[in-house]
Amino acid sequence: MTSAVGSQPVGFSKWVAGARPRTLPAAIAPVLVGTSLIHSDKRPINLLNGLAALFVSLLLQIAVNFSNDYSDGIRGTDKNRVGPMRLVASGLATAKQVKAAAYLCFILASFCGLFLASRTSWWLIALGLICIIAAWTYTGGAKPYGYSGFGEISVFIFFGVVATVGSYFIQSGKITWQSFLVSIPMGTLSCAILSINNLRDLPKDALVSKKTLAVRIGDRNARKMFVGLILLAHLASLISVLITPWALATIVFLPMAVKISRNVMGGAQGAALIPILGKVGKLQLFIAVTLAIALLAQR
């Protein structure tokens, strides 16, 4: 459902848009890969644990999106933003409503996490608390670390290493070098998604003293960093042949990565970067599915 002028979503659709669906592959991909890795250990996949981990990851990603919408909205840093619609800044929802939506997602993620901890390890509760704190303080609180250039590091840790290795851990009860290796392409591609966001918003962020890594290193270096993240993701995927030779199949997505990189290095700015965000999300999901199939084929 859309507004009368067809320009702004209303009703339930505005909450779907506010959840930013294009970012959700970053939550799905690491769980898919980490869960599939257990199959290469010649052990059965626990589907219930895998689904619980997926719900936790998705709910945390949506919670992060809503909390960022709220925190940036009340600070005024989302005014005149070029990117996807923001609920608070656009006036489609009040700050209180968006904050409540973020809290609801955090609570639902916590319930799923508690269920998962009861089936695996109670240490997951501590890890979950750390994830929630990191999610909220990315743009929330007195000194949000996302405003200081540490967003990419956090994304790599939580939506790369923690999500992938954690998904493997709840299947196996252990942490291995293999689980860390396959977490690298997931983490670097999640960072690439964030870097496109920050590159798109660089001019506006600089004006409001939001010192993302893109603002700190400048437009040209931010583009080089993006390409570096894409290349590292492919390199780590190919090195995964040490786990399964079928991982070599990820090379078929190299032309897609090259095309995306050329668009970014070609100087695409503002609204022109929005479609690239979706393409990077698809690239991450394609590589994740291919790696998952490769791991499932390894016996």
Tell me the pLDDT of the chain (299 aa) as tens digits: 444 334 566 677 889 988 888 888 889 999 999 999 998 888 889 999 999 999 999 999 999 999 999 998 888 776 666 666 788 988 889 999 999 999 999 999 999 999 999 999 999 999 999 999 999 999 888 889 988 899 999 999 999 999 999 999 999 999 999 999 999 999 999 999 999 989 998 988 888 888 999 999 999 999 999 999 999 999 999 999 999 999 999 999 999 999 999 999 998 888 889 899 889 999 999 999 999 999 999 76
Q: Identify each DSSP E strand in the chain by its residue range.
A: none
CB 188 within 8 Å of CB 228: no
Where in the chain are the domains? Answer: 12-297
| Closest C-alpha to 178, from 290, 283, 295, 286 | 295
pLDDT of residue 83: 63
Q: Which residues are registered as beta bridge partners of 9?
A: 2
CB 99 within 8 Å of CB 136: no
Q: What gap in Å lies between CA 63 and CA 65, rounded to an integer?
A: 5
Q: What gap in Å lies between CA 201 and CA 221, rounded to an integer?
A: 15
Q: Which residues contact 295 (CB under 8 A, 6 or more apart)?
A: 33, 36, 37, 39, 40, 182, 243, 244, 246, 247
User: b or e along 19-30 (b: 16 or more beta carbons within 10 Å of the residue's beta carbon)?
Assistant: bbebbbbbbbbb
What would be the CATH architecture of the domain defined by 12-297?
A: Orthogonal Bundle (1.10)
pLDDT of residue 43: 87
DSSP state for residue 147 in the 8-state scheme: G
Helix axes 177-207, 25-40, angle to 10 degrees: 170
User: b or e along 239-270 (b: 16 or more beta carbons within 10 Å of the residue's beta carbon)?
Assistant: ebeebbebbebbeebeebbeebbeebeeebee
- What does the angle CA 202 – CA 205 – CA 210 come to, to the nearest 5 degrees? 125
Joined tokens for residue 80: 């005149």
Q: What gap in Å lies between CA 201 and CA 125, rounded to an integer?
A: 35
User: Any idea which residue has 């990117």 for tokens?
Assistant: 83
pLDDT of residue 5: 37
pTM, entire model: 0.90
DSSP for 235-272 reads: HHHHHGGGT-GGGGGGGGGHHHHHHHHHHHHTT--GGG
pLDDT of residue 81: 64
